[in-house]
Amino acid sequence: MTTQLFRNTRSVYLLLGDAILYGHAAEVAIRAALYLAGRPPGELSPVHEVAKATKLPSAYLSKVIQRLAQAGLVRTFRGPGGGIELGKSPEAITLWSLVRATEGPSDVDRCALGIGNCSPNNPCPLHGRWAPLRGDFQKLLEGTTLGALVRELEQAPGKEQSIHQRHVRRTDTFSNSEATRERQDRP
Dist. CA 136–CA 150, nearest whole Å: 22
| pLDDT tens, per residue, the chain with 187 residues | 333 333 333 333 444 433 346 788 999 999 999 999 999 888 999 999 999 999 999 999 999 999 999 999 999 999 888 999 999 999 999 999 999 999 876 555 677 777 777 888 888 888 888 888 888 888 999 999 999 998 888 887 655 444 444 343 333 334 333 333 333 334 3
Dist. CA 63–CA 122, nearest whole Å: 35
- Alpha helices of the chain — where are they, by DSSP H? 24-37, 47-54, 58-70, 95-108, 127-142, 146-154, 176-179
- Domain range annotation of the chain: 24-172
- Select the CATH number that applies to the domain covering 24-172 from these four: 3.90.1150.10, 3.40.190.290, 1.10.10.10, 3.30.70.100: 1.10.10.10
What's the confidence (pLDDT) of residue 45?
A: 96
Q: pLDDT for 87-131, tens place per residue? A: 999 999 999 999 999 987 655 567 777 777 788 888 888 888 888
What's the confidence (pLDDT) of residue 19?
A: 39
Using CB atoms within 10 Å of the CB of residue 113, give its burial: 0 to 12 exposed, 13 to 18 middle, 19+ buried.
Answer: middle
pTM comes to 0.71
- Asked if residue 177 lies in contact with residue 123, where contact means CB atoms within 8 angstroms, the answer is no
Residue 110, phi-psi category: left (phi > 0), alpha (psi -120 to 50), beta (remainder): beta
